[in-house]
Structure 1
Amino acid sequence: MQDSRFHEEVDKKMGYKTRSILSMPLKDRDGVVIGVAQAINKISPADEPFDEHDEKVFGSYLAFCGIGVKNAQLYERSQLENRRNQVLLDLARVIFEEQSNVANLIHKIMMHTLSLLQCERCQVLLVDDSQHLGLFSRVFDLQPSDFDNDDTYNREGPQEPRFPINIGITGLVARTGEILNIPDAYNDDRFDPSVDEDTNFRTQSILCMPIINASGKIIGVMQLVNKVDKTPFNKNDENIFEAFAIFCGMGINNTQMYETTLKAMAKQRIALEVLSYHATAPLEEANRLKKMNIASSQRYNLLDYRFSDFCLDDDDTLKATIRMFLDLDLLETFHINYEIFCRWILSVKKNYRNVTYHNWRHAFNVTQTMFCMFKTGHMSNILTNTERLALIIGCLCHDLDHRGTNNQFQIKTDSPLSELYSTSVLEHHHFDQCIMITNAKGNDILCNLSQVDYEKVLGLLENAILATDLALYFRYRGAFFQLVNSGTADWSLEENRDLLRSMMMTVSDVSAISKPWEVQKKVAELVASEFFEQGDLEKRELKVQPSAMMDRDQKDLLPSMQVGFIDNICMPVYEAISKVSPKLEPLLKGCQENRKRWSELAEIHTKKSQEESLQEKNDEDEDEKESTS
């Protein structure tokens, strides 16, 4: 207590009384201090302090201890280095084995990282080359419970990962290339605690590093969250993780280059295929259409939800399309040259294949429904001229170059389209076809728009065409239903208008379900025929059993499948859209009437099947009786 170097606060906290201390350095063979050893309170009757003899004994003992500790440190370090080298060799093998798919590669890298560094979560965020650093195009998120030996893990995360990524930290690393080791996230200003809200996960420590390619460019960020033993990430973790990040950068860069090459080859094959099948409409045809008399909307019955194109020939559909654009005042508003417009319509029609259902006639009918919603349903009171232009073009072009098979078929057959687009395969292709036609010389109907308006129309047009993918409809319809059911929808908000436009595209796309019974029945048979053709292809080329709606052998189930289609897809969106404008209720009533008809047919089929089953059973019983007698 009389030595100024002693801090009595230690005794106060511990409840211990320190009387004497013998403290000596722990040195290695080179005399470098690697630690300190301390003896407290010599046990003696008179509480004597440590003497010179004690110092000699303690010093001799510590000489051996220093050698032992140093050897143990070297052995432990060699073990860690050996383990690190082995893991990196395994990782190098994995990287060079998997060079075809970024998602698979990153999944394997994250599995190795979780296993080696024993952490609760691993994330990889790839930087979007088309954007500024800090924005990520793809996000991968893995924890130990996500994968097992049967390889069922969904490798690429959804657009919105279940675990929100802390953009503050990952964005900083992506911008600066700085390595961040944060032992206590909640005491760091760069951490956003909201990422843990509404989850059962709590972030404690974070280790975040940039992923750099061979050129020194930051292509992504790799992040570890929470060690399993709850300790912070140490320097050894940093060294191993840094090596991982280096290998990651090499592998991801190589795989991205490979994927880019595949996409370029797929684009080339698609372009050659399209060019061999389609061509821009000849100028002579455009001049012929230009000279035709365009009748009124009433003459074509375009303002009626019960409209049918069965009585119109191809020229009538072209002229009716022109009438819709004229009545919406789009040609004058956007300074569209009439001759160019005529040639554009002819080119759009020409780019529809002669498939059973998803052809020009279907696109024309979808466009008529959207036009009717604008004019008869008073939706023009909500949407702007720019939105109406994008939606009407979107309807006319939403199935361009459709092959009569769906997205799943493209994926199953590894078609060039499936290699080019990972989601909404056909819809992305329809949009690309629309842009190709609209940008072609002589078809450029948007050439007089300002750059700002042109970009606005293209953005709306892309969203409109992609909205016809029913997978996206199911994703967004919940928010739309909640919005309209609240009764307080504010259509001046862009996010609400975006939902409304998407739902209007779905309403128009499936509008055949609301037509008069004879029209609906015929259209349903056309749809079924196209589905059966795909089912035949699956049986013949893929050697698989198609789903019921694609199976020609189960065509008797069409009525019950139509009831399911109405209940699951059509009825909910028609009920919701009719709340936006009461003038849209005829669509809902038409859908309800057709459901009743299909339900009656389904009941008849069920009753017939039951009677046939009963008759078969009776026949079997009779045969059995005769056999017994």
Structure 2
Amino acid sequence: MASKEQTSIFSEVFELEQADLENKGPHNGNGNGCRFPIHIGITGYVATTGETLNISDAYKDPRFDPKVDSETGFRTHEMLCMPIKNASGAIQGVSLLVNKMDGSAFNKNDEDMFEAFAIFCGMGIHNTKMYEKVCRAVAKQRVALETLSYHATAPSEEAQRIKKLPVPTSNELGLLKFSFSELRMTEDETLLAAIRMFLDLDLLNKFRINYETMCRWLLSVRKNYRNVTYHNWRHAFTVAQTMFAIIKAGGMKNVLTDIEVMCLMVACLSHDLDHRGTNNNFQVMIESPLAQLYSTSTMEHHHFDQCIMILNSKGNEIFMNLNPEEYTNAIRLLEHAILATDLAVYFKSRGEFFHLVDEQKCEWNEDDQRELLRGMLMTACDISAISKPWDVQKEIAKLVFGEFFEQGDLERQQLNKVPDDMMNREKRDLLPKMQVGFVDAICLPVYESLTKVNDKMKPLLDMCQSNRNNWQHLATLSIQQLEEKESIKGSAEEKDIDESETTSSSEKSQGAPPRKK
């Protein structure tokens, strides 16, 4: 055997007898291999040149090394030596036949048969090497995941600290209100509020979740959100609170099963894990590793992967007491819920959902319709900032567009590209108009449809419509201000022209020399 990187050959000798060929007994192979420089002998020549050698008398060939026979006591006569190659033609080793049993030279038929054997050996060696590489890659991946898990999960001491803190009631926190806002809450208060939601939904009891495990899982989820302008832990917490309000106050508690409620809450808190502050299109444009992994819903697939990684990390296994069937179902529900937050997915599925609702053909006992409903609920929660009181909505909109403008800056710097208006900070005067377009195209349709499902969700629609009117008012003012600026600018230019003409006429009347242009 030999390779390009090696400077020597090792060999294994098998003494084949007639009984071996007829499968009448084991071969007399010996495990005493030898190793010698790659350029020595017949095998060395074939290993370095890749040529096939068919030699009828070995001792008449200057490339044959007689020392091989003197060391073994064997007499070599005929030799057929052939390289073993992989699919790309690289030499993996050398195969050698010595002395036909009838004493004749190796013929063309022998060469063809031996070539087939060499090809088979090459495939086997190549597959073995690939398997070894895969095994090493899997081992490296496991080490990386263990390291990542250690650094990505919250320490148990922090979980024990949170565990000791008193948890306010839902009424004290205002969690049942669709108008809820976390903007003035501390980090610990958001964690305690998240715990309260799981407690009030009785999820810890129904799924036998250890309280400290729940605390640590929440801490780990928060830790895995990057410090980006908008798509951070606080956004995820707000999305989860809206889902909680929809379930408890929006009439969905009697429609959704316990496992659906559990998975929707987990999905809301996890749906933007490790968000980088840029959208799917940006990942594709820069050809990021994530875009190479996932051709559709790029970031959403990554968020789901991060969610599973945390759930499987030691001390964070809030699903550990589910039986295999429940666990499989929970993972399926989680994946669908997180991928549903991709607006491209929303646009694909909303037509069917709207039709079912408008035609009053909803049958929530059918799996496909339940799936549509869960997807619409995830979208409604993800965009719920538009349904908050006007002062909160304005503040959140600044964060959203701040992150968009940061992406636009990256597009200018890295791609030398003029960003779309929504990402272009030079177009920030158009923000109110863009918000109106966003509400009309995405927000109002889903809230109108969910209100038809259950009118207890109407507060989402009412506040969304109110905010839409406020943005429309600002958009109208922006247009008027822009027109006034253009009017003032035009008047100023006309005044400059008039003054210039007056000065020119005065100079001519006084006989002044013409000014140079």
**TM value normalised by structure 1:** 0.57
Write the mapping of 1:360-399 to structure 2, written as runs, cut at 5 A: 360-399=233-272
Aligned position for 1:472: 345
User: Hey, what's the Cα distance between the residues in 1 that align with 2:230 and 2:454?
Assistant: 30
Aligned position for 2:439: 566
Aligned position for 1:543: 416
Shift of 1:489: 1.2
2:226 aligned with 1:356: no
2:148 aligned with 1:279: no
2:379 aligned with 1:506: yes
Output one character per residue of 1:250-271: Cα deviation in whole Å (capped at 9) or x when no partner.
xxxxxxx9xx99xx89x969x6
- Unaligned 5+ segments in structure 2 are 1-86, 88-129, 503-517
Write the mapping of 1:77-226 to structure 2, written as runs, cut at 5 A: none
Q: Look up the equivalent residue of 1:320 and give its one-letter code.
A: A
User: Hey, what's the Cα distance between the residues in 2 that align with 1:274 and 1:504?
Assistant: 35
Q: Look up the equivalent residue of 2:220 and give its one-letter code.
A: S
Q: Look up the equivalent residue of 1:387 and give its one-letter code.
A: E
User: Hey, what's the Cα distance between the residues in 1 that align with 2:497 and 2:168?
Assistant: 72
Residues 376 and 333 of structure 1, relative CA distance in 2, 3 Å threshold: same
Aligned position for 1:205: none
Q: Look up the equivalent residue of 1:337 and give its one-letter code.
A: N
Aligned position for 1:526: 399
2:303 aligned with 1:418: no
Residues paired across the two proteins, number: 370
- Unaligned 5+ segments in structure 1 are 1-213, 215-256
Shift of 1:552: 1.0
Output one character per residue of 1:290-335: Cα deviation in whole Å (capped at 9) or x when no partner.
1111111001100000001122111110010001001111111111
Q: Is the partner of 1:586 in helix, strand or coil?
A: helix
Confirm or deny: 8 A CA contact 2:149 2:310 kept in the other structure: no
Aligned position for 1:253: none
* Alignment partner of 2:494 out of 612, 617, 621: 621
User: Hey, what's the Cα distance between the residues in 2 that align with 1:439 and 1:599?
Assistant: 47
Shift of 1:276: 9.9
Q: Look up the equivalent residue of 2:481 and give its one-letter code.
A: K
* Alignment partner of 1:590 out of 463, 470, 475: 463
- Higher relative CO (CA 8 A, sep ≥ 6), structure 1 or 2? 2
Q: Look up the equivalent residue of 1:313 and give its one-letter code.
A: T
Output one character per residue of 1:369-424: Cα deviation in whole Å (capped at 9) or x when no partner.
00000000010111100110110000000000001111111111111111111110
Q: Look up the equivalent residue of 1:489 and give its one-letter code.
A: C
Shift of 1:516: 0.2
User: Hey, what's the Cα distance between the residues in 2 that align with 1:423 and 1:307?
Assistant: 33
Shift of 1:275: 3.2
Shift of 1:283: 0.5
Aligned position for 2:329: 456
Confirm or deny: 8 A CA contact 1:278 1:351 kept in the other structure: no
Residues 410 and 273 of structure 1, relative CA distance in 2, 3 Å threshold: farther
2:170 aligned with 1:322: no
Residues 403 and 498 of structure 1, relative CA distance in 2, 3 Å threshold: same
Residues 491 and 276 of structure 1, relative CA distance in 2, 3 Å threshold: closer
Q: Look up the equivalent residue of 2:444 and give its one-letter code.
A: M
Confirm or deny: 8 A CA contact 1:353 1:359 kept in the other structure: yes
Aligned position for 1:4: none
* Alignment partner of 1:339 out of 212, 215, 220: 212
Q: Look up the equivalent residue of 1:333 and give its one-letter code.
A: K
Residues 273 and 541 of structure 1, relative CA distance in 2, 3 Å threshold: farther
Aligned position for 1:554: 427
Shift of 1:273: 13
Cα RMSD of the aligned pairs, angstroms, is 2.4
Shift of 1:278: 4.9
Q: Look up the equivalent residue of 2:257 and give its one-letter code.
A: T
Residues 581 and 566 of structure 1, relative CA distance in 2, 3 Å threshold: same
Shift of 1:279: 1.9
**TM value normalised by structure 2:** 0.69
User: Hey, what's the Cα distance between the residues in 1 that align with 2:480 and 2:241?
Assistant: 38
Q: Look up the equivalent residue of 1:477 and give its one-letter code.
A: R
2:385 aligned with 1:490: no
Shift of 1:277: 11
User: Hey, what's the Cα distance between the residues in 2 that align with 1:457 and 1:577?
Assistant: 24
User: Hey, what's the Cα distance between the residues in 1 that align with 2:472 and 2:425?
Assistant: 20
2:454 aligned with 1:581: yes
2:302 aligned with 1:302: no
